Amino acid sequence: MTEPGSGSARGLYTISVAAELAGIAPQSLRSYEERGLVAPARTDGGTRMYSDDDIARLRRVAELAAQGVNLAGIGRILDLEDENTRLRGDSSAAGRE
């Protein structure tokens, strides 16, 4: 996991740039946000700002969608992958104590 403000977690890209980088239509990005699949940062004016982590997550969403997984399934898979990553991090930290 990255620290807040680090390059990979900081919002760097507007929706049009993020869509191009992820290979996904901007409307799909909005839909994915509504479904809770991605949560870009927002400027004070409300502009979505996507991070490198968000772009990687969007690419994963696109990969799963291309395999025929529906949005509910994609959400569950992402939740399980996040939990797995968190548990591995907790396990590594416990081993150093």
- Tell whether 20 is covered by a domain: yes
Each residue of 39-86: pLDDT tens digit? 999 999 999 999 999 999 999 999 999 999 999 999 999 999 999 999
> What is the model's pLDDT at position 95?
62
Instruction: In whole angstroms, give the CA distance from residue 1 to residue 73.
Output: 23
Find the CATH number of the domain harbouring 23. 1.10.1660.10
Asked whether residue 82 is assigned to any structural domain, the reply reads yes
Structurally, how many domains does the chain consist of?
1
**pLDDT beyond 50 at 25:** yes
47, part of any domain? yes
Residue 10 in any domain: the answer is no
Confidence grade of residue 4 (pLDDT, cut at 50, 70, 90): very low
Decide if 1 is inside a domain.
no
Does 7 have pLDDT greater than 80? Answer: no
Spatial neighbors of 41 by CB under 8 A, at least 6 apart, are 10, 11, 48, 49, 50, 51
- Range of the structural domain that residue 74 is part of: 15-96
72 inside domain? yes
- Report if residue 3 sits inside a domain: no
* 53 within some domain: yes
